[in-house]
Structure 1
Amino acid sequence: MKPATERHRILIVGGGAGGLELATRLGDTLGKRGRADVTLIDKNRTHVWKPKLHEIASGSMDLSAHEVGYLEQAHWHHFRFRIGEMTALDRERREVRVAPYLDAEGREVTPDRVFGYDTLVLALGSLSNDFGTPGVGEHALKLESKADAQRFHARMVNACIRAHAQSTPLRPEQLHVAIIGAGATGVELAAELHRTTREVVAYGLDRVDADKDIQVNLIEAADRVLPALPERLSKATEALLAKLGVQVHTAAKVAEVLPEGVRLADGRLLPAELVVWAAGVKAPDFLKDIAGLETNRINQLVVRPSLQTTRDEDIFVIGDCAACAWPQANGGKGGWVPPRAQAAHQQASHVAAQIRRRLAGKPLQAYRYRDFGSLVSLGEYSTVGNMMGGLIGGSLMIEGAFARLMYVSLYKMHELALHGPAKVTLDTMARLITRRTEPHVKLH
């Protein structure tokens, strides 16, 4: 037992949308008042809202204006940040093991460490699920992190510069991009790339003909793009993508990713210099049955209605790595809370309240997911989506300026949860001003 004078130790692992919002909320309440010690662990130094990764990859977003440093956020909001990647969990000793953190040159910055907890919150997010498709690990890029998005962007710009500088004809795969998965990420990336690649070559790379040389292929195993949205919106999106020159391949299963492109199950070869895997998600592999906790087939930790794990009431799970039942899904037939930023936002608010109730000795309440629908941004061309699907018993389909406003508001809600209205207002004004004096695409 801990001495009565010791404060309750809250350990949050994962600084994504849900984890960082939770650490900020708990720091501003329990941490500030000295009622608990709140610690956040993440393997990165900075946070970026994951739905923005396609904008970083395409070059349409300035990363420096949107990333949040964990150390400064912790300082301003009364919690601690410790860098490192979780590798093991000891439920009996209530400890989390974190691997050594190495710098870019392979030198150790922090050693292997162990952190104790009284309440543990796992918010480790999700990774791409390649379903064992040959060649994905060797030849495809993924958009799982800021580093992935930056790597894709650098390779895209280099491909344009290389094509401009070479004296020989372009190879069949050169300046071709294949995006595997036509869900929100794949569709948004395809639309953004149509604009940003043209803006890149407009800055003096005049030997590249954007309309003739640059080709984006969007590949989807289902029979339509955006299969999670109503069919009318899928058809409207596909028509717009076709108008932009994006080659859409539906009902097309990928058999293998090759160094020079993608081979489909029907034998077709789609040449591509850059291949992006954006199909399917799963929780990190090391979570599978970790410390005897219950997990599902995609490594998500199964939770009770309170968001506590089924086998340990001291451990909460939020975000994409949580398998949380949703009784209202599929017309009341039941299902699972989808891996969306809005779910992580709601769960962070819920767990913050439950931890406060736990410390006060009050019974915990059940989490109820509120479905506000799905929105997909097609860059400057359009935004489509269905709003309030689970609240009105159906879907309200929206497009255009209103949908765009709703899409932007989701990110503003995240910023408000982290920074409050004053900072968000000033930051937004600063971005609007600087955008008028800078290129609308990142060129390096």
Structure 2
Amino acid sequence: MQSKYVIVGGGAGGLELACKLGRKLGPQQVMLVDSRLYHIWKPSLHEVAAGTLDIHQEGLSYQMLAHDNGFTYVYGAMTALDSAARQITVAAITSEGGETVLPERCIGYESLVMAVGSTSNYFGVPGAAEHTISLNATEDAERFRLTLLKLLTRAALQKGSQQGAEGVDVVIIGGGATGVELAAELREASGVYTSYGFGHLDPIRDVRITLLEGAPRILAPLPERVSGAALKLLNERGIKVVTDCRVTAIAHDHVAVGAQTYPSDIVVWAAGIKAPGFLATLGLPTAKGGQIEVEGKLQVKGVPGVYALGDCAQCLGADGKPVPPRAQAAHQQADYLLETFLRQARGKAPQDKPYEYRDYGSLVSFGQSTSVGSLMGSLRGFSWFVEGFFARMMYVSLHLLHHQAVLGTIRTGVLAVARFLVKRATPLVKLH
């Protein structure tokens, strides 16, 4: 197999690049490799975990996207790179019974883009890998949702039969956007669950949510006003927030912070990310966190024809600091490489300016009705604080803009209307 432009990883940045480039150059020149069959916008995984978003309705088939956007889709995980021969290896796909569905494949390229995202960084905390769930992918979010349903069922039966009133203890480690959004979404969902067969449970008293953060405040990278507003909303929802604490160990039934312990039935790890471990085996230069080191134009240092974007790439900004691992950075990098490759394809001179990250602000969701955040102005260091319904609509628009990039304007509009109608004809949470 051979393609001029091969993109590995169908996350926010990689998929947008494949779709936009495919619409310009066609499937003979553009190829996307991914180990999954369908795409979901990663910032919405907390909604999947809470059950307020159904992945079977939200997921977009890569095969469908390839057909509609003019790129070739290859199903499988990348396992090796031969940068001298400009060739990658994609693992075989086997069935549950061990039968080979797709053999191992080798794919040649002229330009390769690594966009494989990130995975959880446990920082060596004992028990973290064994006793927590991290929202890295759809299967993680689904595992959390199903586990929570089982725990709610058990607690409701115990309380209904007067065998006990233990309830469910949920501990979320990490007070960044993922942890905060999951805590708020779970609190909103717990109130809905009590209306659908868990009537014996009180959503505040019996579904106890604790958020642990090592920094002095939650949402530490964001302005203090945003952090303060977020803390107020969490407190109003009966969510216990503990800051300035370092998790020292995790067991099957509790989380330890030094001598203090917090009971837990289910634990979510949202305290940090790192690059996927297999990147260190590819012979590419990597930073301390495992990310691929790239130059200003997003080309991997010292490796011609290989580029990287998103969470798996360490790209330094004008201030010398790494570009933050955010969806907006991956989106901007995808557009930068789109221009780079289109210039190559049309025989034009390469771009003069290196990639420059622009921070447009951050929004944090607090359920289906409100959000908080900050929007960056054109003046350096100036931002607007936003909250409530207006902030929620802006948060939703970010998801729609991603869909517009991969589906087009008309289909995105139809999809938005369809989801609006479906939410009014089905339960507010997924119950099975």
Tell me the TM-score normalized by structure 1: 0.93
The separation in 1 between residues aligned to 2:104 and 2:335, in whole angstroms, is: 31
CA contact (8 A) 2:88 2:108 kept: yes
CA separation of 1:379/1:114 partners in 2, compared to 1, >3 Å: closer, same or farther? same
In the TM superposition, residue 106 of structure 1 has moved relative to its aligned partner by 4.1
Give me the CA root mean square deviation.
1.8
Deviation at 1:369, TM superposition (A): 1.4
Spell out, residue by residue over 1:352-408, the C-alpha distance to the aligned partner (whole angstroms, 9 max, x if none). 110121231522342121210111011135311111267543222211122112211
Partner residue in 2 for 1:96 = 88
Which of 312, 318, 325 aligns to 1:321? It is 312
What secondary structure does 1:204 align onto? coil
* Residue in structure 1 matched with residue 335 of structure 2 by the alignment: 349
1:61 & 1:89 partners in 2: Cα distance?
37
Cα distance change, pair 76–308 in 1 and its aligned pair in 2 (3 A): same
Aligned match of 1:364: 351
- CA–CA distance in 2 between the matches of 1:390 and 1:150? 40
Alignment counterpart, residue 200 of structure 1, candidates 170, 178, 193: 193
Q: Secondary structure in 1 aligned to 2:205?
A: helix
CA shift for structure 1 position 8: 5.7
Return the alpha-carbon distance in structure 1 between the equivalents of residues 12 and 88 of structure 2.
Answer: 21
Decide whether aligned partners of structure 1 residues 122 and 391 sit closer, same or farther in structure 2, where only a CA change above 3 A counts: farther
| Structure 2 spans left out of the alignment, 5+ residues | none
Deviation at 1:84, TM superposition (A): 0.8
CA distance in 1: counterparts of 2:378 and 2:262, whole angstroms: 39
The answer to whether the 8 A contact 1:318-1:348 is kept is yes
Counterpart position of 1:378: 366
Paired with 1:280 and 1:210, the residues of 2 have a C-alpha distance of 29
| Higher mean displacement: 194-203 or 361-370 | 361-370
| Conserved 8 A contact 2:375-2:383 | yes
**1:11-410 equivalences in 2 (<5 Å):** 11-31=6-26, 36-166=28-158, 167=161, 169-170=163-164, 174-265=167-258, 267-288=259-280, 290-291=282-283, 293-327=284-318, 333-359=319-345, 360-365=347-352, 366-380=354-368, 382-388=370-376, 392-410=380-398
- List per-residue Cα deviations over 1:196-239 (Å, max 9, x = no partner): 12211221222222222110000000011110111122112112
1:428 and 2:419 correspond: no
Distance in 1 (CA, whole Å) between partners of 2:387 and 2:338 is 34
Determine helix, strand or coil for the equivalent of 2:215.
Answer: coil
Displacement after TM superposition at 1:7 (Å): 8.6
Counterpart amino acid of 1:306? Answer: K
* 3-state SS of paired residue (1:211): coil
1:242-279 CA-to-partner distances (Å, cap 9, x unmatched) read 111101010111001110020112x1110010000001
1:43-87 per-position Cα deviation (integer Å, ceiling 9, x unaligned): 000000000000000011122222110011111111111111111
Counterpart Cα distance in 2 of 1:425 and 1:433: 13
Residue 187 of structure 1 aligns to a residue whose secondary structure is: helix
**Alpha-carbon distance in 2 for matches of 1:107, 1:431:** 37
Deviation at 1:313, TM superposition (A): 2.7
Which amino acid letter does the alignment assign opposite residue 385 of structure 1?
G
Note the alpha carbon deviations across 1:77-100, whole angstroms, 9 max, x for none: 111111111111111111111222
Distance 1:116 1:136, change over 3 A: same
Separation in structure 2 between the aligned mates of residue 69 and residue 170 of structure 1, nearest angstrom: 45
Alpha-carbon distance in structure 2 between the residues aligned to 1:141 and 1:8 = 37
Give yes or no for contact 2:125–2:249 (8 Å, CA) kept in 1.
yes
Distance 1:170 1:81, change over 3 A: farther
Q: TM-score, normalised by structure 2?
A: 0.95
The percent identity for this pair of structures is 43
Question: Contact 1:371 / 1:390 at 8 angstroms: preserved in 2?
Answer: no
CA shift for structure 1 position 103: 3.0
Deviations 1:155-198 (A, max 9, x none): 111111122223464475x5110000010000000000001122
Counterpart residue identity of residue 350, structure 2: P
